[in-house]
Amino acid sequence: MEKYYIGMDIHNKKTMYVVMDEQGNIIDRGSVDTSKESYMGLLVGKKIPSDTQVAFESGEKMYWANSILIELGMRPVVVSAQEVRAKARRPNQKSDHRDAFEICDGLRRGIYTSIVYVPTPELQNLRKILSRRQHFVKECTRQRNAAKFLIRNLGLNLHKKLCISTTAGWEQLLNMKEVETIAAYLTMHYQLWKMANQFVNDLEKEMDEASKPFKELLELLQTMPGVGPITSTAFVTALGDASRFRTAAEVASYIGLVPSTYDSGEKQRHGHITKNGPAHLRSLLCEAAHHAGKPSHPMNASWRKHMVKSGYKKAITAIAHRMARILFAMWKHQEAFDPNRLQSSKPTKTYRIKNAA
């Protein structure tokens, strides 16, 4: 049976496609509507055999296209959009038809290495919930900052005496005589904060229900001090499957907590962390790392060492990096956090939890 390869450049309304055989001959090319029915018509009309590889770029339609193509009996391959552009024959001559050709030909030649992991529907749902929770948490912060801005414009420092992260704090602020001239505006911000805060609470309840299939794993990861339900859930949804990574170093690199490197000839420089991968998880790990500043925290000794050597910000980043490695080892070996294993020396490439330093 003839083997085919299909490359797609998917947009909201139209999808450009190219079909090739094993020799690189173009069997067909064109465009169809971005819908399940149009995809089915394309595959049936061209008599594409089942289990044919269909490649497309990562993007907004990634999860939708992946599920539709699996349902139609195809084998979807999601390629990093950055790699497609970097390996294009003519990177400065971009068009949708050319992109579809590049994706198809690159798939046929096997040149793509940054294949995007597509999680299970359960993990996709958890990712969606976490994403919406993050959005409304930012909205709560935005409304608090807006209220503080108005107060500062009056030359007041009332926000330092109040905690407007709670309903009681907001109501206390609104009842103060000093803010009578801006009370109407503060009330607007309060109403928006209240609504967003309610959405956050609702989403956290939804997350608790959706995370039940991963309950044991999440409870295991939460044995690490400073790691709660949000951080552990974000860690699991970001990695998806621990078997995708060979070592903890790969996990730290995937999250973007490793320094950028320039090594050429006799020059070798290390810069800021790469910040690749899931930014939300990186932020949560840095928040968890702040707990290491407490004397009772198992990683306090390491935190103080980094503080003396490099300062506060780099100490937080270093602890977040270490936490990511240990969380991966806990997951991989199904072992709870053990502070007695933190005293060992620098980890090797074949990472184990007993070498978690």
Q: What is the pLDDT of residue 343?
A: 67
Q: What is the pLDDT of residue 242?
A: 93
Q: Mean of the per-residue pLDDT values for the chain? A: 91
What CATH number was assigned to the domain covering residues 4-109? 3.30.420.140
Tokens, residue 155: 């030359």
Q: What is the pLDDT of residue 262?
A: 75
Tens digit of each residue's pLDDT (9 = 90 or more) over 76-90: 999 999 899 899 888
Tens digit of each residue's pLDDT (9 = 90 or more) over 227-266: 999 999 999 999 999 999 999 999 999 999 998 887 777 7
Q: What is the pLDDT of residue 351?
A: 34
Contacts made by residues 217-224, CB under 8 angstroms, sequence distance 24+: 217/331, 220/330, 220/331, 220/334, 220/335, 220/336, 221/327, 221/330, 221/331, 223/330, 223/336, 223/337, 224/288, 224/323, 224/326, 224/327, 224/330, 224/337
Rounded distance between C-alpha atoms, residue 286 and residue 275, angstroms: 12
Tens digit of each residue's pLDDT (9 = 90 or more) over 311-344: 999 999 999 999 999 999 999 999 999 999 886 4
Mean pLDDT of 136-158: 92
Residue 114 pLDDT > 70, yes or no? yes
Rounded distance between C-alpha atoms, residue 247 and residue 137, angstroms: 33
pLDDT bucket at 290, cuts 50 / 70 / 90: very high
pLDDT bucket at 160, cuts 50 / 70 / 90: low
Q: What is the pLDDT of residue 91?
A: 79
Q: What is the pLDDT of residue 159?
A: 57
Residue 12 pLDDT > 80, yes or no? yes
Strand pairing partners for 79?
Answer: 57, 115
Residue 164 pLDDT > 70, yes or no? yes
Strand pairing partners for 269?
Answer: 262
Residue 352 pLDDT > 80, yes or no? no
pTM metric for this prediction:
0.86
* Sequence ranges of the domains in the chain: 4-109, 121-210, 216-355
pLDDT bucket at 129, cuts 50 / 70 / 90: very high
Residue 348 pLDDT > 60, yes or no? no
Contact (CB, 8 A) for 20 and 27: yes
pLDDT bucket at 346, cuts 50 / 70 / 90: very low
C-alpha distances (whole Å) from 232 to each of 4, 31, 42, 239, 323 are: 41, 42, 42, 11, 11
